[in-house]
Structure 1
Amino acid sequence: MQQLNVQQYLDGRPLSGKQWLVFVLGVLIILADGLDSGAIGFIAPSLLQDWGIDKPALKPVLSGSLVGMAIGALVAGPLADRFGRKWVVIASTVLFGLFTVISGFATNTTELAIYRFITGLGLGAAMPNIATLVAEYMPAHRRATMVNLMFCAFPLGITLGGLLAAKIIPAAGWEHMLMYCGVFPLVLAAVLLFALPESIQFLLTRGRQASAQKIVSSIDSSIDFSKTELVLPELKGNNNAGVALIISKPYFLSTAMLWLCCFMSLLVFYLLTSWMPVLLKQAGFTTEQYSLIAAIFPFGGVFGTAVIGWAMDKFQANKALMVVYFISAILMVITGWFASDIILFGVIIFLAGAGLVGAQSSLPALTALFYPVQGRAAGVSWMHGIGRMGAIFGAFFEAQIFAWNLSLSQVFMFLGVPVLISALALWVKSRDTSVVNQEPVVSNELQKN
């Protein structure tokens, strides 16, 4: 029986309808993730008013979701490498959709914190695993572009949440806002059950030739794949899988640098997205001004994510992302210098968001490109999980920044340091030569029916 290297085959042909379907489903999952992740921020003012509580009382609710995301990512990656990407994605989508709905029935902050923690488990598990699945269906020369385009749906989901909140909360209350946000992923999960295929690469690692051949046949029906043995690139010198692979000696240094990069990047991202309005208000900006500027920062990430994905495919992915982080660090340092000119300040904030948010959204694509299929889901998920710890640290670290009474310029200069560390981490990764190369299996030319 002749052999076909699946990755070489996908790399050498245009995208099929099946691959576009996987991409669109991935976009919808990330959109739902952004919608449900941002929902708690939109209902917070109503919670303070309805429950008669102050802002510190909401901290367990906000941090509970972040902790859940970190744990969900750490647990789900190894599960996806063992049981499959599809079922982990579906289960996590059901989990965060169901508990977003249940959150609408909370009567106090303790209940809501527990519900949001469980919601976070699903949110944290869904994002890295759908990124892994979509990456495995894309050709190598378009992988970063397509994965990054998919991640553009996350800030769009947050934006959609804002539009829904403006309509639903005044008319029906915050409870209905959560219920509407939760129903969408539940409906989507039902669609995924029938429409989302399993990873071809995962099926082959489990020896499920017939299932893999069926999916490849749906990509190209002109070839009889039942007479072809589908194979993967061989991983020379390393028999580990999952977490054991990503922390094994050849991969350890680069793995640690990806974790450090994501940790520092998310620290700054969550601190700014959560507390930028407060910082700008203290600096003398009006409500209209700081609301607009705070929205510009993540919106810049939509454009940055798309452009960076293209650059990663056109140039060396790690170096392209490293350069973006270096530029973002510079933009962070100089941002506060232009606070007196609202237009110029908004432009710099947009560019900083394009760089930092775009780079952060590009890390899953970089990680998926770096690890072989045997540890890809664990690699992407653990990078996300460790990074979420940076987000948790940033949420608590903001109190210390306010205690220092720093000026706006000093705050942005201070935040430039973690971004610079992210860039340096990718520089160290680029110098690591210990990773074992994957040798492709030579395949015979396929005969058409």
Structure 2
Amino acid sequence: MKIILDIQQAVDTRKLSLQQWIIFILCFLVILADGIDTGVVGFIAPALLDDWGITKNDLRPVMSVALIGMAIGAIFAGILADKIGRKWVIIGSAFIFGTSNNTTEMVIYRFLTGLGLGAAMPNAATLVSEYMPAHRRAWMVNLLFCALPLGITIGGVLSAGLLSNHGWKMVLYIGGAIPVVVAVVSVFLLKESLHFLIKKQGQVEALEIVKNIQGKFIDAKLVPVKSLDADLTEKNTNPVGLVVGKFIVPSAMMWLCCFMSLLVFYVLTSWMPTLLKESGFTPEQFSLVTAVFPFGGVAGTILIGWFMSKYDVNKTITFAYFISAVLFVITGFLTQNIYLLALFIFLAGAGLVGAQSSLPSLAAIFYPAECRGVGVSWMHGLGRFGAIFGAFFGAYIFTFNLGMSGIFFVLALPILISALALYLKGRYSTSKVTIPQTSKV
């Protein structure tokens, strides 16, 4: 007689199995490709301005159109994944890439690229969160999102090494080839969501995956994870209805936080190379100094993830945003010293990028299984509008001649708003977000 086993029990292992590591690594590589693609346009922007003989305003559509595509892709990603599965949304999105010879062509290709990348990231985060043991979930999802700033850093290193000798097109060619290779490998190795398989009557395939995870055959009937919210009923499990109904206040606060955070992030990653060039830095120098910012985010994401496993998740990320705002103000006073500037850009990146990279963990843990896909995807999608605004805002603030110091002072304000939004979410959430400290199989 078959026993009934919920999905979380099925994946709660003391040590991650090879199957779980493969899923994690493939999703990590997808987001790494996202980071490389996100970052390279900012790094090659000075070369585009010189090569095409255009102004910063002419380049604004190129900077922002991929972000528009990402927002649209992320908003519909959760709904699409419920129809065809998370695996195929991730794979399909990773195939989309391109390059061009003028601004019009680049705008078209960047939009299509954005659609794919916007759909890939939230689905990768959700898939990893579903396959990770409860006591490791926050840590592993945070570790997953180290791939984004790491990818941007790789984009900077690629740019520094290739721009002078091979031109900006070679940077895009290499950056575009990476997601295609990952997509091909994922067709054969990436597994579908267990939630999706059970929903679509894929019990046999789901049990085979569980067998690979636990290393033994289990004569069981898998069922979805029990709801994280006791008030949910079978009649009230519409994903969109839950996100904009029962969870609307904490959802709105996460949307606002993500919006403001990505605004600042994309102002810096899109326009800091140009700002540093105008301050007298060489292409190698401004590429590497700019790359320090997201690289700090890798360290910050790991450190914040560790604190999240020990302390309240919401308070940890809120505090990280507040410290980041303080670091931005300090950085504004240090723009005349290249070494101190690089150090505090690294620290500011650790705070801001680390906090931003932790938001998917917060959302994946906060939302119940019934609406997790939509909740995580919508936070990404609506937050991406902050990235879109940031790309335009970056060009706009150049007109005020604030200088590097003034720009860092101004950008501290939206970071404080992010901290306030998460503080209010913590006050008014209908569910407490906690991390299980132990899990026994």
User: Is the structural similarity TM-score above 0.5?
Assistant: yes
- Partner of 2:4, secondary structure, is strand
Contact 1:336 1:410 (C-alpha < 8 Å) held by counterparts: yes
In the other structure, the counterpart of 1:88 is: 89
In the other structure, the counterpart of 2:186 is: 192
**Which of 336, 345, 350 is 1:349 aligned to?**
345
Whole-angstrom CA distance in 1 between matches of 2:363 and 2:294: 22
Whole-angstrom CA distance in 1 between matches of 2:335 and 2:102: 40
In the other structure, the counterpart of 1:333 is: 329
In the other structure, the counterpart of 1:441 is: none
In the other structure, the counterpart of 1:237 is: 232
Deviations 1:12-43 (A, max 9, x none): 53211111111111121112212222333344
Whole-angstrom CA distance in 1 between matches of 2:296 and 2:371: 32
How many residue pairs end up in the alignment? 430
In the other structure, the counterpart of 1:65 is: 66
Q: State the 1:401 CA deviation.
A: 2.7
Equivalent residue letter for 1:25: L
Contact 1:3 1:231 (C-alpha < 8 Å) held by counterparts: no
Contact 2:72 2:118 (C-alpha < 8 Å) held by counterparts: yes
Contact 1:210 1:226 (C-alpha < 8 Å) held by counterparts: no
Q: State the 1:393 CA deviation.
A: 1.0
In the other structure, the counterpart of 1:213 is: 207
Contact 1:65 1:120 (C-alpha < 8 Å) held by counterparts: yes
Please identify, of 133-142 and 172-181, the stretch whose mean Cα deviation from structure 2 is larger: 172-181
- Partner of 2:339, secondary structure, is helix
- Partner of 1:225, secondary structure, is coil
The structure-2 alpha-carbon separation of the partners of 1:435 and 1:153, relative to structure 1 and needing over 3 Å to count, comes to closer
Whole-angstrom CA distance in 2 between matches of 1:144 and 1:38: 26
Q: State the 1:134 CA deviation.
A: 0.9
Q: CA RMSD in A?
A: 2.7
In the other structure, the counterpart of 2:32 is: 31
Q: State the 1:281 CA deviation.
A: 6.0
In the other structure, the counterpart of 1:158 is: 152
The structure-2 alpha-carbon separation of the partners of 1:73 and 1:43, relative to structure 1 and needing over 3 Å to count, comes to same
Please identify, of 153-162 and 22-31, the stretch whose mean Cα deviation from structure 2 is larger: 153-162
In the other structure, the counterpart of 1:309 is: 305
**Which of 264, 269, 277 is 1:273 aligned to?**
269
Equivalent residue letter for 1:149: L
Q: State the 1:246 CA deviation.
A: 1.2
Q: State the 1:182 CA deviation.
A: 2.2
What TM-score results when the alignment is normalised by the length of structure 2?
0.89
The structure-2 alpha-carbon separation of the partners of 1:198 and 1:159, relative to structure 1 and needing over 3 Å to count, comes to same
Whole-angstrom CA distance in 1 between matches of 2:307 and 2:181: 35
Whole-angstrom CA distance in 1 between matches of 2:199 and 2:29: 27
- Partner of 2:29, secondary structure, is helix
Whole-angstrom CA distance in 2 between matches of 1:310 and 1:147: 12
Whole-angstrom CA distance in 1 between matches of 2:14 and 2:378: 31
Please identify, of 162-171 and 266-275, the stretch whose mean Cα deviation from structure 2 is larger: 162-171
Counterparts of residues 396-415 of structure 1 (less than 5 Å): 396-406=392-402, 408-415=404-411
Deviations 1:73-110 (A, max 9, x none): 1111211133321111111111x2xx32xx2xx34321
Equivalent residue letter for 1:375: C
Unaligned runs of 5+ in 1: 439-444
**Which of 149, 169, 173 is 1:179 aligned to?**
173
Unaligned runs of 5+ in 2: 435-439
Whole-angstrom CA distance in 2 between matches of 1:46 and 1:339: 23
After TM superposition, the runs of 4+ consecutive aligned structure 1 residues lying more than 6 A away are none
Q: State the 1:45 CA deviation.
A: 4.4
Corresponding position: 1:422 with 2:415: no
Contact 1:322 1:424 (C-alpha < 8 Å) held by counterparts: yes
Contact 1:131 1:364 (C-alpha < 8 Å) held by counterparts: yes
Equivalent residue letter for 1:33: D
Deviations 1:259-287 (A, max 9, x none): 000000011111122233454566x5654
In the other structure, the counterpart of 2:361 is: 365
Please identify, of 143-152 and 3-12, the stretch whose mean Cα deviation from structure 2 is larger: 3-12
Please identify, of 52-61 and 131-140, the stretch whose mean Cα deviation from structure 2 is larger: 52-61
The structure-2 alpha-carbon separation of the partners of 1:412 and 1:82, relative to structure 1 and needing over 3 Å to count, comes to same
In the other structure, the counterpart of 2:8 is: 7
In the other structure, the counterpart of 1:319 is: 315
What TM-score results when the alignment is normalised by the length of structure 1?
0.87
Contact 1:205 1:374 (C-alpha < 8 Å) held by counterparts: no
Q: State the 1:373 CA deviation.
A: 2.1
Identical counterparts, % of pairs: 55
Please identify, of 35-44 and 411-420, the stretch whose mean Cα deviation from structure 2 is larger: 35-44
